[in-house]
Structure 1
Amino acid sequence: MDRLGLNKNMKNNAFLLFILGTLLFPAMLCAQMEPEEIKLDTDQFQELFYESLLQKGIENYDKAVVALDKCIKIKPDDAAVYYELGKNYLALKDYNNAYTSFEKATKIDPKNKWYWVGMYDVSYETSNYNQAIMIINKLIEFDEKYKEDLTSLYIGTKQFDKALSLINELNETFGKTDRRDLYKSQILSEGKFQNMEASNLLEQIDKNPQEESNYISLIVLYSKNKEEEKAFEIVKKLEKAIPNSEWAQVTLFKNYLDVNDAPKAINAMNVVLASSKIDLKIKHRILNEFLIFTDKNPQYSADLEKAISYFANDATVNVAKEIGKFYHEKKQWVNASKYYEQALKKGSTDDIETNLLLLQAYTELKQFDLVAKKASVMVDTFPTQPQFYYYAGLGYNQLQQFKKAKDFLEMGMDYVVENKELEINFNIQLGEAHNGLGDFKKKDLFFAKANQLLKEKK
């Protein structure tokens, strides 16, 4: 190689060394300085982070935020710092900054469940339920138990169709809970969702015919909607699938009654009436059917008495009173009075209607001593009810205690208002009382008033 070429190569090599030296020197310098800087930054970061935890622990949330902001300047991509920042802002009720901080944490580390929980907490606390629904759907990816929260959120946002569908899914997967049952009752109080629920229950019955609760829920749903024929169709299905079910006895009772097999019908009825599972409306219907049967077959009256005893604690209907009215309409006064007496013993002694019906039954039976005694007591209890004065007057007139009759009738007349029928009866009884006392002028006067009122009534 010639000299010129050698010089040229030497010049080129020198240039390359200069360039490499220029590039490598800063890097070497940095490499020498970095460990100390990292140590310094790490120490400062840990100190600030510890300070933030300390301040949060003593509820100095503002100071904690300041310390965490300094942490971010050292490590701007640390998800844990943003999470802590979010918790402090949430404690300060600075919801916008809290949400933003939690959100930044999820962007840095989307696989950490607790960062999403922070966003959910802010959304729930600010009642931003639609936003909470979006976040909870993300949390469900971590843990399906968050579906319970989703149910509540659907209720809160009135998305009842989604709530009902989710409740049914959770009931099937995890079993029923009291809270979900409460939500379901709330949803089904709106009629438009009942068809959806009926369809779901029919589907569940087809999938699992041995699960009694689905039959019962559907029977109760149909009963509440007064779709009694549909309810009994489901009872028949239940009877075939689970013959030992207490609900199956409902159908058996009806079938035995239809073929006049009274002993088996009574046995089925007693099982139904004693059951805590069966709806009261179904029980009332069965009792009513047996009442009609007993009216035609009085030899089973003792069984009717036993059946009525099952309703002793029924707060919805005074069963004895209703049976009394049944016999009242048929003018079977002995039975009517017996059941009215039972109704009053149940604790409704101040029931005006029952007492008046009983007084009428006693009157029809010509038990005037009972009429007078009962009506006198009721006058003391209800001093402004004219009907009780009337029955007291009627009873004492029939017992020929005319002075007592007159006194009760005169007092009661003051309370007769816009009741022409009762006013006529008062005048007739006053005429009878004065006739018994020998005051014939007043007798004629009251009978004349009664006649005039009868003409006006026509």
Structure 2
Amino acid sequence: MLATGESTAQSSKRKKKAKANQEAPAPTVQQVPAPSERDRQVSEALFLDGMRYFMLEDYQQALQLFQKAYTVTPNNAALNYKIGETYLHLKEPKSAMPFAQAAVNLEKKNAYYYLLLAQLHTELQQYDAAAQAFNALLANVPNSNEYLFNLADLYLSQSRYEDALKTYDRIEKEFGDMEQLLVNRQQIYLRQKNVDKAIAEGEKLLKAYPSEIRYYLSQAELYNASRRADDAINTLNKALRLEPGNPFAHLMLSDLHRQKGELEESERQVKMAFASSELDIDTKVRILVDFIRQLPNPQIEPVALELVDMTIEKHPEEAKAYAVAADLQTIVGKKQAARDNYLKAVKLDDSHFKIWQQIVLLDAELEQPAAMVKHAEQALELFPNQAVFWFYSGTGHLIEKNFEKAVKALEYGKRLSVGEPELVMQFNMQLGDSYNSLKDYKKSDAAYEAVLAQDANNEHVLNNYSYFLSLRGESLDKARQMSERLVKQHPTNPTYLDTHAWVLYKMGNYTEARKHLEQAVAISDDATIVEHYGDVLFKLGKQEEAVSQWQKAKLKGEASAFIDRKIKEKKLYE
């Protein structure tokens, strides 16, 4: 169908815009004679051929045929529309625009033409023009008020809230009260931070839809935001009358009662929420993480522990239930329970490195080296290149006196730790102890020296290195310097006092050794320290006092293998 020509002003305006965009001039409604019957038939045939390619999504071929048809019948509205739509499919909205505009100019009562024009303006981020296209559609196309919803969505997406609200008013006049209109208005008022108006819309929703529990929950949130706690509580209680046991209502009530300082009721409500199978595991975990952030806190610790037990009870097949329980139990010092729950978590899902790391760390803190070895090696099956598990495996073997296995694990882990000097230092500390136990003193000393090169005041190495040198009777002056430095830094540590005293003992300085051991036994009754004190007293000629100290050491059950001979024969054996 041919349409009348556009105005000279419109043509001039569009040509100027096209020039600015460096595009070909927009097609205009050309003043050409009406096409002949043959021309119409040729154009229609080309158009139909083009449509076949269009349906096959061969848009380039379709465009070529449409353009050929266009040369014959440039004022065909449907053809202009289809060329514009094809350009849109080819992701060329600028090229499509003039054809869509021409289609609208040629036939002003076709809604699809306006919709294409609005879509193109939106693609080009020309939102005002897109809104104008919708308004033109509504003005020119009969029975098109359904497109008011599109216009409102466009305004909303551009944060043109007042225009959106006006459009909702137009929709309401045309279609009457609608649930979505109330919801949308409420959302706009919230975006505008107008909580009072949002509450008013919520009250309309509750009046119109009194059986929709979700509106009670959202209204309670709004009351809470307005510091109307009592209104929020009343609204939630109404929700619970509709749906007893709703966990989200109980959670909100818990929070509201906590805000009012009603802690007992707050705890009761949160427990009711957690008792519900309808409260999903992720929500429970999120809430428990909030509890964890508040720990340690003796006021909330009991309820937090009860909630993790309830979570496990309701979700026994969820790894995260056991993991979050273990996280909480670790913080409050329930290490055995935490380690066991972490183990249950990895049985259900063994893919989390951090959980395995927590397991072996707790094994170490629980002083269970066999478990530490077992769990570290299980973790290594999953994470063979994680040095930390080689460290715990090696450390467990060291404590268990499997020194060869300890060295093998520690050396491998150390090689994996290149580029992490702090971790390398930890490996060297344990390697120093392991090699010493294997009597490979050269490698032991080298490992200790490597640590001291990084940290000259490392307590573990200063103590063990100096003590082992004293036992070997080697480099005693160096051992004395290290143990002396340690005692100066930690003058009340009985282990360090004993080490320094033993170095002095080996150097024959029994008087100074006695002084430090007297300080040590005043603080600690460790069997080794007490036995060393007896040895020093013996060297100072105080035989009876020495035997008395040896007897005390024997009662502790951790003295040397010579303790019985010392006591029986009243002689010193080393």
Q: 8 Å contact 1:99–1:122 — kept in the other structure?
A: no
Report Cα offsets for 1:365-398 as digits up to 9, x if no partner.
1221121122223334334322111101111112
**In 2, Cα distance between equivalents of 1:238 and 1:253:** 14
Q: 8 Å contact 1:86–1:102 — kept in the other structure?
A: yes
Aligned to 2:114: 120
Aligned to 2:354: 353
5 Å-filtered alignment, 1:232-311, equals 235-244=232-241, 245=243, 246=246, 247-253=248-254, 255=257, 258-259=263-264, 266-271=271-276, 274-275=278-279, 284-285=286-287, 288-289=290-291, 296-297=301-302, 304-308=308-312
Aligned to 1:386: 387
**In 2, Cα distance between equivalents of 1:249 and 1:346:** 30
Q: 1:173 aligns with which of 164, 177, 181?
A: 177
- What 5-or-longer segments of structure 2 have no aligned partner? 1-35, 49-65, 85-98, 122-128, 460-574
**In 2, Cα distance between equivalents of 1:159 and 1:116:** 27
Query: 86-95 vs 389-398, which deviates more?
Result: 86-95
Query: 118-127 vs 327-336, which deviates more?
Result: 118-127
- What 5-or-longer segments of structure 1 have no aligned partner? 1-47, 70-81, 104-114
5 Å-filtered alignment, 1:188-207, equals 194-196=191-193, 198-207=195-204
Q: Which has the higher helix share?
A: 1
Q: 8 Å contact 1:369–1:395 — kept in the other structure?
A: yes
Identity among equivalent pairs (%): 16
**In 2, Cα distance between equivalents of 1:184 and 1:392:** 62
Aligned length: 367
Q: 8 Å contact 1:120–1:136 — kept in the other structure?
A: yes
Change (3 A) 1:137 1:200: farther
Q: 8 Å contact 1:420–1:457 — kept in the other structure?
A: no
Which residue identity is paired with 1:207? Answer: K
Report Cα offsets for 1:143-173 as digits up to 9, x if no partner.
5322222134335766466447757977993
Query: 159-168 vs 424-433, which deviates more?
Result: 159-168
**In 2, Cα distance between equivalents of 1:172 and 1:289:** 47
**In 1, Cα distance between equivalents of 2:335 and 2:309:** 17
Report Cα offsets for 1:164-215 as digits up to 9, x if no partner.
77579779933349xx99x999x99xxx963447555312223343453334
Q: 8 Å contact 1:220–1:231 — kept in the other structure?
A: no
Q: Shift of residue 406 of structure 1?
A: 0.6
Q: Is 2:369 the counterpart of 1:343?
A: no
Which residue identity is paired with 2:214? Answer: S
Q: 8 Å contact 1:396–1:404 — kept in the other structure?
A: yes
5 Å-filtered alignment, 1:61-210, equals 86-91=77-82, 93=84, 94-103=99-108, 115=109, 117=111, 120-121=114-115, 123-124=117-118, 126-127=120-121, 129-138=130-139, 142-154=143-155, 159=160, 162-163=163-164, 173-176=177-180, 194-196=191-193, 198-209=195-206, 210=210
TM-score (norm 1): 0.61
Query: 372-381 vs 208-217, which deviates more?
Result: 208-217
SS of equivalent to 2:401 = coil
**In 2, Cα distance between equivalents of 1:68 and 1:296:** 82
Question: Radius of gyration: which is bigger?
Answer: 1
Q: Shift of residue 125 of structure 1?
A: 5.8
Change (3 A) 1:400 1:197: farther
SS of equivalent to 1:173 = coil
Q: Shift of residue 407 of structure 1?
A: 0.5
Q: Shift of residue 304 of structure 1?
A: 2.9
Change (3 A) 1:99 1:365: same
Q: 8 Å contact 1:52–1:64 — kept in the other structure?
A: no
Q: 8 Å contact 1:402–1:433 — kept in the other structure?
A: yes
**In 2, Cα distance between equivalents of 1:146 and 1:423:** 69
Aligned to 2:447: 446
Q: 8 Å contact 2:254–2:268 — kept in the other structure?
A: no
Q: Shift of residue 445 of structure 1?
A: 4.2
Q: Shift of residue 324 of structure 1?
A: 2.5
Aligned to 1:396: 397
Change (3 A) 1:423 1:375: same
**In 2, Cα distance between equivalents of 1:229 and 1:389:** 56
Q: Shift of residue 354 of structure 1?
A: 1.9
